Amino acid sequence: MSTPRVQHVPRLIPELLKLPALKDSGFFLVDVGASGGVEPFWNAFGDALHAVGFDVLVNEVARLNKENKNERIRYVDGVVTCPADVVLPTYRSEEERIRVKHTHLESRSSDRHALKRMNVDYIKKEFNANQEVVVSERRVTLDEFFAQQNPAKIDFIKVDTDGHDFPVLLGAEKILRQGDVLGLSVEAQLHGMPHEKANLFANIDTFLRSMGYTLFDLEIFRYSRADLPAQFCHDIPAQTVQGQVFWGEAVYFRDLGGPDYEKMWKHEPAEAKVVKLAALYELFGLNDCAAELIKKFRGRFFTEEMAGRFLDQLTPVLYGKKVGYAKYMQAFEQDPKSFYASQFASTFGGLAEPNPHGDSASAGEATAPLYDPVLYHRSGRPRSKTGLSLRGLKRALRSFFGS
């Protein structure tokens, strides 16, 4: 699961991978909802990447393990959830649904109506490589699974379970409270029954903020009503270009760049964690946050020379050319109005990524935007025949095959 701001050609991460703090400790990813495999953009960490992926589809997990050529990545079948004593809200009839005030907007959406009309088994065809759908009977919490290992090694948790995301977090509370997990990406629904344990963004946000995480990005998905369908974003019944917001992909990090974070949360980060967080910030298109973090720990974890070089790597183009951090900041300090949207588009050639094949571009030369505001699924994941990633297909179909 990724946002359109994920940078597939990072400039800083290759430099950070040379540091012993990252090279020796590695980077550990937990992927909950891993059908299709760990997303390719994580390969930015190279040989430092270690991952465990979980999914409920038994045959898909078996296929992934069989085809996997990376011994540092493994897949486990199972329903990742919360402890058995946690009471989750549910309903079993229309009368109960009304009583618990669950609006069930999915039943009124154009994608659900289209899927009914098409009558296609997309789960078997697209998610499960045309194999029979076998759902794992194993139930596990992340706290239980990693109890016999060193949970401090976990750096990032991705949760994409199509409607069961908050229970996954509730089952990882011990891991999260230890303070070593740097960030999470969590799929969250924006509507549902008003209950403190409901799988809602509001509950997820409150839960994570209570443990020192801050929302850094939120990608929103819209779905039109079946009574007046809007254009689908892809060649599949899924999210639409207009309509009510239904879901979001939320990205959380520990805001270690904040001046009072350590005092506020009684948390003293290790050097390796700061280096990894800088890498994560860049990977998720948060170069400004990476710059703030590096400047805060300059002289402690980064020498002056290293910090200067890293800041230059994070700096975007200016006047169509790759410039250093000092010159870029000087332009802002001298004339903040030059960063207005109208001026940026005409003078700077638009917000652009550094050219990975060279240090400069000629004046006026078109530069690639950080993301396409319409074709925003650029995760680099294996694509289906529709052009939509497997993650996108799962997200598209959740309303039809279950809430």
What is the DSSP secondary-structure string of 76-119?
EESEE---TTS-----SSHHHHHHTT---GGGGBHHHHHHHHH-
Place 149 in a pLDDT band, splitting at 50, 70 and 90.
Answer: confident
Residue 389 makes CB contacts below 8 A (sequence gap 6+) with 36, 377, 379, 381, 382, 383
Domain count, the chain: 1
Mean pLDDT confidence for 342-370: 44
User: Which residue spans within 106-243 are E strands per DSSP?
Assistant: 139-140, 154-159, 183-189, 213-223, 232-234, 236-240
Residue 160 lies in a domain: yes
pLDDT tier, 91 (very low <50, low <70, confident <90, very high otherwise)? confident
User: What is the average pLDDT across 288-306?
Assistant: 97
Does 151 fall in a domain?
A: yes
pTM comes to 0.85
pLDDT band of 120, cuts 50, 70, 90: low
What is the Cα–Cα distance from 27 to 19, expressed in whole angstroms? 13
Portion of the chain with pLDDT greater than 90, in percent: 66
d(CA 303, CA 293): 13
367 in any annotated domain: no
- pLDDT, mean over the chain: 84
Q: Is 349 a domain residue?
A: no
pLDDT of residue 343: 75
Residue 42 DSSP class: G
Q: Is residue 355 part of a domain?
A: no
Q: Are 385 and 130 in contact (CB under 8 A)?
A: no
Could you tell me if residue 358 is inside a domain? Answer: no
Establish if 366 belongs to a structural domain: no
Q: What is the mean pLDDT of residues 266-278?
A: 95
Cβ atoms of residues 72 and 49 within 8 Å: yes
Token output for 163? 């409607």
Domain of residue 252, residue span = 13-285+377-401
> Average pLDDT in the 226-252 region?
94
For residue 120, being part of any structural domain is answered with yes
